[in-house]
């Protein structure tokens, strides 16, 4: 049976792109509903052909997913482009760090894109860039007038299934539209361009890139809450902490409350940026409070009363 990747799913129909064989319109077999499994855009699937001439079929199997994002609902994304603006709006650094932490947790490559550098004043983008290059992230600077940075961004997209993420107004849709204008569409009516000026949420759709890979055709997501991340695991989701954790005096050091902490010393020496560390401590405390609240709640539920 042939295999392919779902590039769009809507109203129970799934459009599966097959290399060198176009796009098939497929339905999902009823067994998926019984299993409580819904095919997602980005899923790699095996399907049977029911109408060769009309390119129709049934999805028989969903291959194992490497990742799943909720908003947009898409599977197998292996790269997040975290977008902030040099100016207008002011960058939400906490949101940026949450995106990067979640990408680390899911094993997804993350790239930081500083957009609107043409609006930069006082070389602000250098101060924005430094903590993330120091942490080992690839940082790309772009603007509507820039060609070099935009070329770097296109190169970064090649060979990946990528999605844009960031706060509203940073230019995700503009970047997306600009990239789409450079693409030779290969999937016919299924891959319609995003309407100019639209910022409404749409069904996630994959657009094939000429250099290989796919881009999720949706403005991405602008709000982010850490889900399923335990507070004591947060430290391992900051790449710049890795070499300093073994230098801590205490086993299980939180890097928040203890003395003789290798991470704190690295902050003092400028090896870890102070803002990144401050946001780490804020996230750590918030996740710890959430965990303690869940523990107290479960404890109350488990209490027995004597008649």
The CATH number assigned to the domain holding 294 equals 1.10.40.50
- 283-295 in b/e form (b: 16+ CB < 10 A) is bbeebbeeeeeee
Asked whether 63 and 45 are in contact (CB, 8 A), the reply is yes
The pLDDT of residue 34 is 80
Q: 222 lies in a domain?
A: no
Is the C-alpha dihedral spanning 186, 190, 194, 200 positive or negative? Answer: negative
Q: 76 lies in a domain?
A: yes
Query: Based on the structure, what is the number of domains in the chain?
Result: 3
Do residues 126 and 16 share a domain? no
For 146, the domain range is 69-188+199-216
Do residues 208 and 102 share a domain? yes
Mean pLDDT for the stretch of residues 253-267: 95
pLDDT tier at 35, thresholds 50, 70, 90? confident
pLDDT tops 80 at residue 185:
no
Do residues 204 and 107 share a domain? yes
User: Which one of 46, 63, 80 terminates a domain?
Assistant: 63
Q: Beta 109-115 vs 44-51: how paired, if at all?
A: unpaired
Distance, in Å, from the CA atom of 99 to the CA atom of 277, rounded to the nearest integer, reads 15
Q: 221 lies in a domain?
A: no
The model scores a pTM over 0.85: no
pLDDT tops 80 at residue 217:
no
């Amino acid at each position: 049976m042939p295999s392919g990747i779902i590039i769009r799913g809507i109203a129970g129909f799934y459009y599966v792109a097959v290399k060198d064989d176009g796009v098939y319109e497929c339905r999902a077999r009823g067994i998926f509903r019984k299993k409580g499994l819904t095919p997602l855009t980005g899923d790699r699937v095996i399907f049977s052909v029911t109408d060769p001439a009309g390119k129709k079929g049934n999805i028989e199997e969903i291959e194992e997913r490497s990742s799943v994002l909720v908003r947009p609902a898409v599977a197998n994304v292996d790269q997040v482009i975290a977008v902030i603006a040099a100016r207008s709006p002011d960058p939400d650094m906490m949101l940026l760090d949450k995106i990067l932490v979640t990408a680390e947790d899911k094993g997804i490559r993350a790239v930081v894109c500083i957009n609107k550098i043409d609006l930069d004043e006082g070389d602000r983008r250098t101060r924005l860039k430094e903590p993330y290059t120091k942490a080992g992230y690839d940082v790309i600077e772009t603007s509507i007038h820039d060609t070099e940075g935009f070329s770097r961004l296109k190169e970064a997209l090649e060979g990946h299934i990528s999605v844009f993420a960031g706060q509203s107004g940073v230019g995700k849709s503009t970047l997306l539209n600009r990239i789409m204008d450079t693409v030779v569409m290969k999937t016919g009516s299924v891959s319609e361009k995003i309407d100019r000026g639209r910022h409404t949420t749409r069904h996630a759709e994959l657009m094939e890139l000429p250099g290989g890979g796919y881009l999720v055709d949706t403005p991405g997501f602008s709000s982010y809450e850490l889900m399923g991340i335990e507070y004591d695991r947060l430290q391992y989701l900051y790449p710049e902490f890795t070499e300093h954790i073994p230098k801590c005096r205490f086993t299980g050091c939180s890097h928040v409350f203890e003395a003789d902490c290798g991470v704190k010393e690295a902050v003092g020496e400028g090896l870890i940026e102070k803002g990144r560390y401050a946001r780490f401590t804020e996230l750590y405390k918030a996740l710890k409070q959430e965990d303690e609240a869940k523990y107290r709640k479960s404890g109350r539920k488990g209490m027995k009363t004597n008649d």
